[in-house]
Amino acid sequence: MGLRGRVQAVLVDWTAVLGERGGVGDLRRRLLSGARGRVIEIGAGTGANLRHYPRDLERLVLVEPVEEMARRIEERLAATGRTASVVRARAEDLPVEDASFDTAVATLVLCSVREPARALAEIRRVLVPGGQLLFLEHVRSCAVRLAGWQDRVNPLWRAVAFGCNLNRPTLASIEAAGFVVAELERGRMPAAPPVLRPLVLGRAVR
C-alpha cells in the first residue's frame, strides 16, 4: 500500500465530507435516485455515493483502481451492511461482460481518468442497449475568460490533484462516445474555487 495511495484516499475522504456539507451531497442524491437495475460505478473513490443509492438495486459494482480507496469502500460496506462488489480496475479496462449493466455512474471522475474516450467506450460497451449513464462532472467553462484561466492553472492543478483536469469538455466527450444526452443541468460546484465551479449533471442513453 503506497504512500501516494494513502494520501490520495485521505484527501478524497476529506473533500467528500466538505462537499457533502457544501451541497454536493444533494446533487449526488438527486442524480442517483435515477439508478436502476444492475449498476456499475467507475472511479468509486472511497464510497461517497454509497449512501445515496436506492436500496432496491438488482446489483451494485463499484470499480476503483487505487487499493487504499477500494479498502475504504469495503470498510464502509461492512459498516452499513450494504451488499456490493468492489472491483480493482481502471475505467479504461472494465473486467465485465458486454451489455451486462442497466446503469453506469460517473461522479467527479472523468476529469481524472487517463483516457476519457476509452473509458467512455468501455462504459458504453458494458451497458445494455437503452442503458443509462448518470454523470456529475466539473468541466471546461463555456465562458471564454474562465476557460482561459482553467487552461493556465490546469498543469499545476493536475500535478497536485492526482491527475484531475479542470478543462475537459466532458459533455462533448460523452456525446462523441455515442451517447444521447437525455437530461442535462448546468450549474456550479458548491464551495469550490471559480476554476472548479462549472458543472454538468445529467443522464445519457446508450
What's the confidence (pLDDT) of residue 14?
Answer: 47
2: pLDDT confidence band, cut at 50, 70 and 90?
low
Residue 23 has pLDDT above 80, yes or no: no
State the DSSP code for 191. Answer: T
Residue 78 has pLDDT above 80, yes or no: yes
Name the average pLDDT for the chain. Answer: 91
Average pLDDT over residues 72-99: 94
Residues, the chain: 206
CA distance 52 to 31: 9
Only one residue has cell 449512501, namely 51
pLDDT digits (tens, 9 = 90+) for 30-60: 999 999 999 999 999 999 999 999 999 999 9
**Long-range pairs for 68-71: beta carbons < 8 A, 24 or more residues apart:** 68/1, 68/2, 68/5, 68/6, 68/8, 68/9, 69/5, 69/8, 69/9, 69/12, 69/44, 69/45, 71/1
3-205: CATH class:
alpha beta
pTM of the complete model beyond 0.85: yes
Residue 12 has pLDDT above 80, yes or no: no
What's the confidence (pLDDT) of residue 107?
Answer: 96
Most trustworthy range by pLDDT among 20-29, 135-144, 188-197:
135-144
Q: Measuring CA to CA, how many Å separate 4 from each of 67, 113, 148, 183? A: 11, 17, 30, 37
